[in-house]
Amino acid sequence: MRTIPISEEAFLKQLELSDASEMFWLTDTNRSYLKEWLPWLNYTKCEDDTSYFIQRTIQQYDDNQGIHYGIWYNGRMAGTLGVHNLDWINKKTSLGYWLGAGFQGKGLMTKAVAAYMDHLVFGSWNLEKITIQAATGNTKSRAIPERLGFQLEGILRRNEFLYDHFVDHAVYSMLKEEWQERARPKR
């Protein structure tokens, strides 16, 4: 699926090389904001670095290992969303995402994650489980799985190095039947 609708103003579009300029601009103008929780900002110094990342996501798609999307809101890229890798044997994956600061507080990421899960994770891929990890102090990122009814599985101590310190990660999961039950009308 090249595009997935989110709302009247927003949609997911599979990342393409032509998105590199817009994506780099979004990254660069939000660098200090994103750096609080994302470890890769020092490796994204120019548009070519973003092009390289997008090329890797295209290869990931070609290798049947998942799809990365740009999140578009009112004609502008707002962030990205994608899986790290698909574990076809165990029918599971993990999801990662980020939004620019100006796109926060609109429910955009919650809707984007739900659409991704409906169409791909528990839709065409028919997986059994998805996980989301977020630094324990990253309340905005943790709010996404919490709003969507994910279960907190536990805390991974000193799980990620962020420039000059380690952070713990909260690990959330959703099973296919839990997601399907969530979508059923209540009687």
pLDDT tens digit string along 55-72? 999 999 999 999 999 999
**What percent of the chain shows pLDDT beyond 90?**
94
Contact 41, 27 (CB under 8 A): yes
- For range 5-17, the mean pLDDT: 96
Predicted pLDDT at 154? 98
Mean pLDDT confidence for 138-152: 97
pLDDT at 39 over 60: yes
Per-residue model confidence (pLDDT) at position 182: 82
Q: How many CB atoms lie within 10 A of CB 71?
A: 28
**pLDDT for 1:** 62
Pairwise CA distance, residues 173 & 175, whole Å: 7
Concatenating the DSSP letter of every residue in 35-75 gives: HTT-TTGGG--SHHHHHHHHHHHHHHHHTTS--EEEEEETT
- Can you name the residues that pair with 100 across neighbouring β-strands? none
Q: Which residues pair with 42 in a beta bridge?
A: none
| Segment 173-185 mean pLDDT | 86
pLDDT > 60? residue 52: yes
pLDDT at 187 over 60: no
Q: Can you give the pLDDT at residue 151?
A: 97
Residue 48 in this model has a pLDDT that exceeds 90: yes
The string of pLDDT tens digits covering residues 77-127 is 999 999 998 999 999 999 999 999 999 999 999 999 999 999 999 999 999
pLDDT at 143 over 80: yes
Average pLDDT of the chain to the nearest whole number: 95
User: pTM for the complete prediction?
Assistant: 0.94
Cα 150 from Cα 138, distance rounded (Å): 16
Q: What Cα–Cα distance (Å) separates residue 8 from each residue in 5, 29, 81, 147, 168? A: 8, 26, 19, 21, 37
**DSSP 8-state class, residue 185:** P
- Which run of H or of E encompasses 14? strand 10-14
